[in-house]
Amino acid sequence: MIGGLRISLGALRRNAKTLRGLAAPACAAFVVKSNAYGHGLVATARAIEAYADTLCVYSIEEGIALREAGIAVAILVLGPAPVELLEDALACDLQITLWDSGTYLETVANTARRLGKVFRVHVKVDTGVRRLGLDPSQAPNAILRIAQTPGVELAGIFSHLASAEELDSAFTLAQVETLNAAIDAAKLDAKPLRHIAASAAAMLWPQTRLDMVRYGIALYGLWPSKQTRAAMPQELQLEPALSFESRIAAVRRVEAGTAVGYGGTFRAPRPMRVGVVPLGYADGIPRALSNTGAFAVAGKRCPIAGRVCMNMTILDLGATNARPGDRVVLIGHDGGSAVSADDWADWAGTINYEIVARLPASLTRTYEDE
Active site residues: 33, 262
Question: Who's near 123: CB < 8 A, 6+ residues apart?
Answer: 97, 98, 99, 134, 139, 142, 143, 146, 154, 156, 157, 158
User: What are the backbone dihedrals phi and psi of residue 295, each rounded to the nearest 5 degrees, phi first?
Assistant: -120, 165
CA gap 161, 6 in Å, rounded: 32
Report yes or no: 195 and 214 within 8 Å, Cβ to Cβ.
yes
Tell me the three state secondary structure of residue 370.
coil
Report yes or no: 7 and 369 within 8 Å, Cβ to Cβ.
no
Residue 332 C-beta-side C-alpha neighbours within 13 Å: 19
DSSP string, 119-185: EEEEEEB-SSS-SSSB-TTTHHHHHHHHHTSTTEEEEEEE---SSTTSSS-HHHHHHHHHHHHHHHH
- Measured in residues, the chain has a length of 370
Type of residue numbered 244: F
Q: Report the b/e string of 235-252 with b at 16+ CB within 10 A.
A: eeebebbbbbbbbbbebe
User: What are the backbone dihedrals phi and psi of residue 260, each rounded to the nearest 5 degrees, phi first?
Assistant: -125, 130
Tell me the three state secondary structure of residue 83.
helix
CA gap 180, 298 in Å, rounded: 55
Q: At what angle do helices 41-48 and 9-23 cross, to 10 degrees?
A: 50
Residue 262 CB neighbours (<10 A): 13
